[in-house]
Amino acid sequence: MLKALVIDPGKCTGCKQCELACSYVKEGEFNPAKSRIRVFDFHQDARFVPYTCTQCAEAWCQQACPVNAITTNEWGVKEVHDSLCVGCKVCTIACPFGTVNYNASTGKVIKCDECGGDPACAKACPTDAITYTDIEQAGFDKMRHWAAQTDAGSRAGH
Amino acid sequence: MGWTGKVLRVDLTKGKCASEDLNKEWADQYMGQRGLASKYLSEEMDPKADPLSPDNKMIFATGPLTGTCASTGGRYSVITKGPLTGAIACSNSGGYWGAELKFAGWDMIILEGKSKKPVYLCITDDKAELLDASEIWGKSVWDTDAWIKTRHQDPQMHVSGIGIAGENGVLFSCIINDLHRAAGRSGVGAVMGSKNLKAIAVRGTGGVKVDDFPAFLAATSAAKEVLAENAVTGEGLPTFGTQVLMNVINEAGALPTRNTRDVQFDGAHDISAEAMAEPSGKNGKPNLLANQACFGCTIACGRISKVNEEHYTVQNKPEYWHASGGLEYEAAWALGAATGVNDLDALTYANFICNEQGIDPISFGATVGAAMEMYEDGTLTDKDTGGLKLKFGSAEALTTAVELTGKAEGFGAELGLGSKRLCDKYGKPELSMTVKGQEFPAYDPRGIQGMGLTYATSNRGACHLRSYTVSSEILGIPEKTDPLVTDGKADLVKAFQDATAAVDSSGLCVFTTFAWTLEDIAPQIDGALPGEWSVDKLLEVGERVWNLERQFNLQAGFTAKDDNLPKRLLKDAAKTGPAKGLVSGLKKMLPEYYAARGWTKEGVPTNETLNRLAL
């Protein structure tokens, strides 16, 4: 079963525990600036939105890499191999979503790799705004929510 | 390792920024934030200095857990001598700014002197410089935030600064970061304004490390579980915010109403958490849109609200139609119950203006309440108020007053003095609901006896956040005590004061203590810092901080006479509710408290106490 990080911005409070967990796992320190997942604060709309790599099936970053440093693992996750990455940053240009970024202190690019199947951000999220679930059923809860509302009208008519 | 070990010293007079090593010996004795900065302040300045002169210093300080994954680990405090009180001031704020300062590599910033012209301090990692603020002097907090981010082309910057209230010397002006998080009390914004410092912008790309990562992660994870499972921090605060208290405190007969003439407000429900969640206006949306967490906080009590677009305050003013920081309990009480106003949209608008212009809504609302009483008894006339009809319950008076206060225009300039100076000026000192010049907050000491002693003895003037005995007396945390009796309150207040001083020195939020005891907190600090940090050590640090602040105030000229309450609370009995017939029993509690503290009858720490605390 392939899994995905499913993000529900409606549940996000903007606490940034995901950024702290990610940067600790990847950098060994608390450093949101180097987190692979970032939370955006759309203050005037009262919305907080966590955002990270969605692991495209046909990934722009992977196709653009001139040295084949980005590979797909058995879970469909695109991984950067530091031993191959030359820091050319072409992938950061190719990615339409901005989720591949350059780390100046190492000279390599960094992106979400779902922590090898056990993403720290999802575990750290206190409100379940970030969950790690079956990729083919990612929309199930949302469908269920809307299904409940669709049914409510007809039941009320009885 | 918890601390970054670096202090940024900014000489505003000379326009110079310099890095220096953190004093590790003091850090071990005072931990960080409130405690450590109070130590620096005490060592470096004369407590008798005029708070608005260049001789006053100002410290922005983080704690060792600021910028870590500990829940609520994002706090910072501003420590200075407060102009509202003349006492040591320590105003604590959340949001994201404190953590960002840590990521830039600094434990604290010490500001001294006075700049010749308006400047802002810009910190990008280890680079710090003072830049010209002439284009933003006169602008609001919100416009300043946007201007700085645009000027530096960096939306990831975090800004802490003053609005026009701080520039205009409003004595209860505050410092606002991240648009609506406030270092709120004692007039710290006026100190910043007096130094011609508009804002401090920070961007940090470094990391924060702790001493023992495995131990720290185990302790912080366990503590987060405790918060999640607790009824207050896991459910009450995220759902209702601090406003969960409005109906509770009103029913307890401890909601100071109309300048504390009464202890219950007939409009309490209209301005409560429950009302904020009810659909209102044409679009049927509630006042409350979302809850927001500060940095690292797994409670998320912050309110994000909107003023109904049809409300008179924002008609044809689309700049106020967006969501922003909504009403917390203390603000809702001060803007509402203290003034008798039950119009939720008017309160939300007034709160927006307080955030936009950097005004402490507690002191502002309480001062308006005092002015309303003087207006109604004829002391203040229309001539005095410039035609402002300051009647209890008038939303229009409240919302006009808040606009005038920030600008220091007309009667707003007098309101900006705070209720003590205002009432003194008009010959009615007894109508000022203050201690040491600071307006007290949303708990009536007749209905919650411990809060009377809390206000009277608070080192920064009347305040609920120095020993929140409401926890015990009303909510039963950590154990229930009777709010109507004075027995045992001296020891209770001392215990809360010491524990709170420790929490305030750590980088954590005091709201965690609805669920956490020091048993939950000590292992987190112990994991973050070198050395042993036990519960006993935290209590010792807390007591040391308390006595250090007390000494600062004694040296500034305060005496036991200032550990007092307004006559109204000591002479006029509560008229309704559970506390009906009661006055504050301060006179009985105060000597017990001095004894519990190891102070003389004159409220001075004995040599034995000072030696015990290595002071």
CA B148 to chain centre: 25
CATH number, domain of B158, equals: 3.60.9.10
Q: Please report, for the domain that includes residue A26, its CATH number.
A: 3.30.70.20
Q: How many Å apart are CA B306 and CA B234, to the nearest integer?
A: 25
Question: What residue of A is the nearest CA neighbor of B101?
Answer: A31
Identify whether B229 is part of a domain. no
Cα–Cα distances (Å) from B140 to B135, B143, B154, in that order, read 12, 5, 19
Q: Do B207 and A48 touch (CB under 8 A)?
A: no
Q: Please report whether residue B488 resides in a domain.
A: yes
Alpha carbons B527 and B64: distance in angstroms, whole number: 11
Q: Nearest residue of B to residue A42 by CA position?
A: B323
Indicate the residue of B68, B206, B297 with minimum beta-carbon distance to A15: B297
If asked whether residues A27 and A102 sit together in one domain, one would say no
Residue bearing the bigger pLDDT, A144 or B194: B194
| H/E stretch holding B325 | strand B324-325
Residues B477, B388 share a domain: no
Q: What is the pLDDT, as a whole number, of residue B25?
A: 98
Which ranges of B426-488 would DSSP assign to H, the alpha helix? 449-457, 470
Within this chain, do residues A80 and A125 fall inside the same structural domain, yes or no?
no
The pLDDT score that the predictor gives to residue B282 is 73
Predicted confidence (pLDDT) at residue A151 exceeds the cutoff of 80: no
Instruction: Give the three-class secondary structure for B79.
Output: strand
Residue B40 lies in a domain: yes
Do A78 and A105 share a domain, yes or no? Answer: yes
Structural domains counted in chain A: 2
d(CA B287, CA B324): 11
Burial of A55-82, coded b for 16+ CB within 10 Å and e otherwise, reads: bbeebbbbebbeeebbeeeebebbbbee
Q: Does A13 touch chain B (CB under 8 A)?
A: yes
Which positions in chain B touch A48 (Cβ < 8 Å)?
290, 292
Tokens of B370: 């005092």
Instruction: Give yes or no for A15 touching B (CB within 8 A).
Output: yes
B420/B434 Cα distance (integer angstroms): 7
Are both B544 and B574 inside the same structural domain?
A: yes
Contact B329, B256 (CB under 8 A): no
Which residues of B fall within a CB distance of 8 Å from A47? 290
Cα angle B155, B317, A44; round to 5: 30
Per-residue pLDDT of B500-533, as tens digits, reads: 999 999 999 999 999 999 999 999 999 999 999 9
B394 and B262, same domain (yes or no)? yes
Burial B239-271 (b: 16+ CB within 10 A, else e): ebbbbbbbbbbbebbbbbbbbbebbbbebbebb
Torsion of CA B303, B309, B313, B314, to 10 degrees: 100
Domain span at residue B12?
6-203
| Domain identity same for B465 and B387 | no
> Which residues of chain B have a pLDDT value below 50?
none
Cβ of A43 within 8 Å of Cβ of B179? The answer is yes
Determine the residue of chain A that is closest to B210 in CA distance: A29
Q: Which of B71, B240, B610, B340 is nearest to A15 (CA)?
A: B71
Closest chain B C-alpha to A33 CA, distance in angstroms? 5
Strand order through the sheet with B324-325: B288-292, B302-305, B324-325
Cα(B608)–Cα(B612) distance, rounded to whole angstroms? 6
- Name every chain B residue with its beta carbon within 8 A of the beta carbon of A33: 103, 156, 204-206
Asked whether the beta carbons of B538 and B501 are under 8 A apart, the reply is no
C-alpha span between B591 and A113 (Å, rounded): 63
Instruction: Give me the domain span that covers residue A30.
Output: 1-52+115-158
Among B174, B203, B232, where does a domain finish?
B203
Given B203, B228, B243, the domain boundary residue is: B203
For A126, which residue in chain B has the nearest alpha carbon? Answer: B298
Task: Note whether A133 and A106 are same-domain residues.
Answer: no
Burial of B210 (0-12, 13-18, 19+ CB in 10 A): buried
Distance (Å, rounded) from C-alpha B91 to C-alpha B186? Answer: 8
Instruction: Decide if B206 touches A, using CB distance below 8 A.
Output: yes
Question: Is the Cβ–Cβ distance between B416 and B168 less than 8 Å?
Answer: yes
- As a three-state string, the secondary structure of B135-166 is CCCCCCHHHHHHHHHHHCCCCCCEEEECCHHH
User: Could you tell me if B13 and B54 are in contact, meaning their C-beta atoms sit under 8 angstroms apart?
Assistant: yes
Answer yes or no: do B406 and B496 share one domain: no
Q: Is the pLDDT of residue A158 over 60?
A: no
Instruction: Give the dihedral sign, CA B21/B26/B27/B28.
Output: positive
Residue B182 located in a structural domain: yes
| Domains contained in chain B, number | 3
In this structure, the strands spanning B158-161 and B58-62 are: unpaired
- Report the CATH number at residue B506: 1.10.599.10
Q: Which residues pair with B596 in a beta bridge?
A: none
C-alpha torsion sign, points A51, A55, A58, A59: positive
| Domain termination residue (choose one: B398, B432, B466) | B432
Q: How far is B185 from chain A, CA to nearest CA, in Å? A: 25
Is the CB of residue B352 less than 8 Å away from at least one CB of chain A? no
Q: In this structure, are residues B355 and B176 in contact, taking their beta carbons and an 8 Å threshold?
A: yes
- DSSP letter string over B534-582? -HHHHHHHHHHHHHHHHHHHHHHT--GGGS---HHHHHSPP-SSTTTT-
- Residue A153, pLDDT above cutoff 70: no
Nearest to B298 among A44, A46, A126 (CB): A126
| pLDDT mean over A127-144 | 92
pLDDT at A155: 56
Helix pair B395-407, B344-357: axis angle to 10 deg: 0
Q: How far is B298 from chain A (nearest CA, A)?
A: 6
What is the structure's pLDDT at A102?
A: 97
A46: contact with B, CB 8 A cutoff: yes
Residue B268: give its domain's CATH number.
1.10.569.10
Same domain, A132 and A153: yes
Region of poorest pLDDT, from A106-110, A137-141, B280-284: B280-284
Same domain flag for B370 and B455: no
Residue B471 to residue B309: CA distance in whole angstroms:
37
Query: Tell me, what DSSP letter sits at residue B257?
Result: B
Q: Among residues 274-293 of chain B, which lie with CB inside 8 Å of chain A?
A: 289-293
**Chain A residue with minimum CA distance to B179:** A43
Among candidates B67, B224, B306 on the partner chain, residue whose Cβ is nearest the Cβ of A30: B67
Same domain as B585, residue B464:
yes
Nearest Cα to Cα of residue B200 among B144, B272, B256: B144
Chain A CB contacts of B69 under 8 Å are: 17, 20-21, 24, 30, 124
B185 and B326 co-located in one domain:
no
Calpha distance B158→B101 (Å, rounded): 9
**B211 in a structural domain:** no
SS3 A100: coil
Cα distance between residue B177 and residue B161, in whole Å: 6
| Helical segments of A11-156, H only | 17-27, 60-64, 90-94, 120-124, 140-156
Give me the pLDDT at residue A141, please: 86
Scan residues 95-114 of A and list those with Cβ closer than 8 Å to B: none
How do the residues of chain A divide into helix, strand and coil, expressed in percent and rounded to 5? 35, 20, 40
Contact A46 B323 (CB under 8 A): yes
Closest listed residue to residue A63, CA positions, set A32, A33, A100, A36: A100
Q: What is the pLDDT of residues B454-468, one digit of tens each?
A: 999 999 999 999 999
Per-residue pLDDT at B280: 83
Separation CA A112–CA A19 (nearest Å): 11
Rounded to two decimals, the ipTM of the complex is 0.96
pLDDT of residue B284: 84
Q: Which residue type is seen at A88? A: C
Whether chain B has a CB inside 8 Å of the CB on A127: the answer is yes
What percentage of chain A has pLDDT greater than the value 90? 81
From chain B residues 72-101, the ones with a CB under 8 A of any chain A CB are 96, 99
> Does the CB of A34 have a partner CB in chain B at under 8 Å?
yes
pLDDT, mean over chain A: 93
* Direct distance between the N- and C-terminal alpha carbons of chain A, in angstroms, rounded to an integer: 42
A42, B175, B203 from B155: Cα distances, Å: 12, 20, 10
> Of A13, A32, A33, which has the smallest distance from its Cβ to B300's Cβ?
A13
Other beta carbons within 10 Å of B558? 20
Q: What single-letter amino acid sits at B505?
A: S
End-to-end CA distance of chain B: 26
Is A149 exposed, middle or buried, given 0-12, 13-18 or 19+ CB atoms closer than 10 A?
Answer: exposed
Q: Answer yes or no: is B334 within a domain.
A: yes
Residue A145's pLDDT band, with cuts at 50, 70 and 90, is confident
Residues B421, B539, single domain; the answer is no
User: Do B190 and B297 have their domain in common?
Assistant: no
For residue B107, being part of any structural domain is answered with yes
Whether A130 and chain B come into contact, CB under 8 Å, resolves to no
Whether residues B484 and B357 fall in one domain: no
Question: Cβ of A29 and B208 within 8 Å?
Answer: yes
Give the residue on A whose Cα is nearest the Cα of B321.
A44
Do B483 and B593 share a domain, yes or no? yes
Instruction: Please tell me if residue A38 touches chain B, with a CB cutoff of 8 Å.
Output: no
Q: Count, in order, helices (H) and strands (E) of chain B.
A: 26, 17
Task: Report which residue type is found at A42.
Answer: F
Residue A48 φ/ψ, nearest 5 degrees: -125, 130
